[in-house]
Amino acid sequence: MARPSRKDDILQAALALFTEIGVDATTIEMIRDRSGASIGSLYHHFGNKERIIGALYLAGTGEYAAMLELGFKEAKSAKDCVKLLVTSYIDWVIANPDWARFVLHSRGRVEAGEMGDQLREANREHFARILEALAGYREQGLFREMPADCFASVVIGPTHDFARNWLAGRALTEFAGCRELLAQIAWESVRA
């Protein structure tokens, strides 16, 4: 296994601090101290705290997108693909609860910040890859008729809502225990 890069060290230090004391209370100096990076290295890789926030957000959503890409290569049916959208999301959230909390609470800040265009482009590309993976099944009439942008909300909406509750400690049921149920509900919601 490769050693994490200095950039990764900085991002993980930032995530730990954001989790412990909050995004607003965390300073560049705290991130530098926690990561062991020099101030020059920190500014070389990111430039400022807002770019660290944006990079951390994009790295998290990028991990989920990478999980989907791998899964789509192995999916054998429309049902498999739809369920994969849900199970990959759940698996990533369970494996990365602090990062997931950060992503769920930071989207607006990143969209409004200097990395907003990068986020919108990454989301556009991610959505296009999902539509591409599902295009053949859509052409075969295997999905209920609905606008493409509505499709994603129907599939992931209940899972996203449960993730928020689980991450906030408001859910009594373990997220993993709902994995198959939520995936099946997503499939039943969009199948023709």
Residue 191's beta-bridge partner residues?
A: 143
For residues 168 and 161, give the distance between their C-alpha atoms in angstroms, rounded to a whole number: 11
What are the residue ranges of helices labelled H in 113-171? 116-139, 148-167
CA 182, 85, 64, 49 dihedral sign is negative
Residue 2 pLDDT grade (very low, low, confident, very high; cuts 50, 70, 90): low
Mean local confidence (pLDDT), 91-120: 96
Residue 4 pLDDT grade (very low, low, confident, very high; cuts 50, 70, 90): low
CB of 112 closer than 8 Å to CB of 50: no
Give the CA count within 13 Å in the CB-facing half-sphere of 126.
Answer: 19
Residue 3 pLDDT grade (very low, low, confident, very high; cuts 50, 70, 90): low
Q: What is the pTM of this model?
A: 0.92
Residue 149 pLDDT grade (very low, low, confident, very high; cuts 50, 70, 90): confident
- Assess whether the region 1-47 and the region 59-190 belong to the same CATH fold: no
Contacts of 4 (CB under 8 A, 6+ apart): 12
Mean local confidence (pLDDT), 144-173: 95
For residues 19 and 101, give the distance between their C-alpha atoms in angstroms, rounded to a whole number: 8
Question: pLDDT per residue over 57-87, tens digit each?
Answer: 999 999 999 999 999 999 999 999 999 999 9
pLDDT at 8 over 80: yes
What are the Cα distances from residue 84, in Å, to 73, 100, 110, 161?
A: 11, 18, 26, 17
| 59-190 CATH choice from 1.10.10.10, 3.40.50.300, 2.60.40.10, 1.10.357.10 | 1.10.357.10
Give Rg (Cα) of the chain.
18
Span 1-47 CATH architecture: Orthogonal Bundle (1.10)
Structural domain boundaries in the chain: 1-47, 59-190
For residues 42 and 25, give the distance between their C-alpha atoms in angstroms, rounded to a whole number: 18
Percent of the chain with pLDDT over 90: 94
Please tell me the predicted confidence (pLDDT) of residue 75.
Answer: 95
Please tell me the predicted confidence (pLDDT) of residue 124.
Answer: 94
What one-character-per-residue DSSP string does 22-77 give?
A: -TTT--HHHHHHHHT--HHHHHHHTSSHHHHHHHHHHHHHHHHHHHHHHHHHH--S
Residue 40 amino acid letter: G
For residues 142 and 22, give the distance between their C-alpha atoms in angstroms, rounded to a whole number: 45
**Mean of per-residue pLDDT scores for the chain:** 94
pLDDT at 1 over 80: no
